[in-house]
Chain A
Amino acid sequence: MSLSSVLNIAGSGMAAQSIRLNTTASNIANAESASSSVDETYRARKPWFSVMEKEMMAPSRDSNGMMMVDEAMGAGVKVDGIIEKDAPLQARFQPDHPMANDDGYVYYPNVNVVEEMTDMMSSSRSYQMNVEVLKTAKQMLQRTLTLGQ
């Protein structure tokens, strides 16, 4: 039944976007987390999305021997992993800071707050879009259940 897989697809979209919102929240929260060494400093994190493919191993066929279209289209979105940005860290000269190293420098994360805010807007809009799809698919399914009544 294709309509119930619409629910799965919209669900996968919502899950992926909420992971993206999570990383954005983490990045903004840690935007000022100072550290005394380059290795220990927090780096901006980004989820990596990819298409969730349906299994192509045994394509099912209809009564005419035609390959089902279901096999050719994707089945939502998945998060492949979360990558850390390799943009340079900010080194600030703050000798009075308790985390300052021997040279008096403190390292701040490579979080670009403006970029994170636009990312947050984009992911919340995408989340809303998936919710709308879910709502419409649910109405269509409920309508189908009334067939013949």
Chain B
Amino acid sequence: MGAINFSNALGIHDDALQLRSRRAEVLANNLANADTPGFKARDFDFKSILAEEASKQSSAGLSMTTTHEGHMAIGTSGADSELKYRFPTQPSIDGNTVDAQTEQAEFARNSLDYNATFEFLNGKFKGMRNAIRGE
């Protein structure tokens, strides 16, 4: 293992950035469907996914190899286990559970978190560049 290794150097931040951009997509989809009858608002359980990623990073090398495209990683049972339905505070009569204010607040928070993660990642790259240049 080399001294400068991308996955070691970047840590969890590149995964976090991807996750936050995906979450932006889920929340945008909730907002776009704010007037669709019967639509149920969805969201990630961010904490559990991040914990899973962190444990994956700490136990790198112990993961099982997948030899078939149908194989799944341990502890994950596919996409549906990650995307949860939001508990509605004021469900509307047409079965829609999107609370526009909540979703908008979550979207704003998510974009701030995205910027924060981006700053971390940018700092990592700057650090690596300084290490390479030896300045």
CA distance A66 to B83 in the complex (A): 14
* Number of chain B residues whose Cβ lies closer than 8 Å to a Cβ of chain A: 46
Number of residue pairs A-B, CB distance < 8 angstroms: 134
Contact of B122 among A74, A130, A147 (CB under 8 A): A147
> By CB atoms of chain A within 10 A, which of B63, B68, B82, B129 has the most?
B82
Does A12 sit within 8 A of B, measured CB to CB?
A: yes
Report the minimum CB–CB distance from A126 to chain B (whole Å): 6
The proximity string for A residues 53-81 relative to B, scoring 1 for CB distances below 8 Å and 0 otherwise, is 00000010100111111111111110000
Secondary structure dominating the interface of B: helix
Secondary structure dominating the interface of A: helix
Report the minimum CB–CB distance from B23 to chain A (whole Å): 8
CA distance A50 to B36 in the complex (A): 6
CA distance A2 to B63 in the complex (A): 27
Question: Which A residues are closer than 8 A to B by beta carbons?
Answer: 1-3, 5-6, 9-10, 12-13, 16-17, 20, 49-51, 59, 61, 64-77, 122-123, 125-126, 129-130, 132-133, 136-137, 139-140, 143-144, 146-148
Given contacts A3-B21, A9-B29, A59-B79, 12 further A-B contacts (CB under 8 A): A2-B18, A13-B32, A64-B63, A69-B82, A74-B33, A77-B32, A129-B100, A132-B104, A137-B28, A137-B111, A143-B114, A147-B121
Question: Which B residues are closer than 8 A to A by beta carbons?
Answer: 18, 21-22, 24-29, 31-37, 39, 42, 44, 63, 66, 68-73, 76, 78-80, 82-83, 100, 104, 107-108, 111, 114-115, 118, 121-122, 125-126, 129
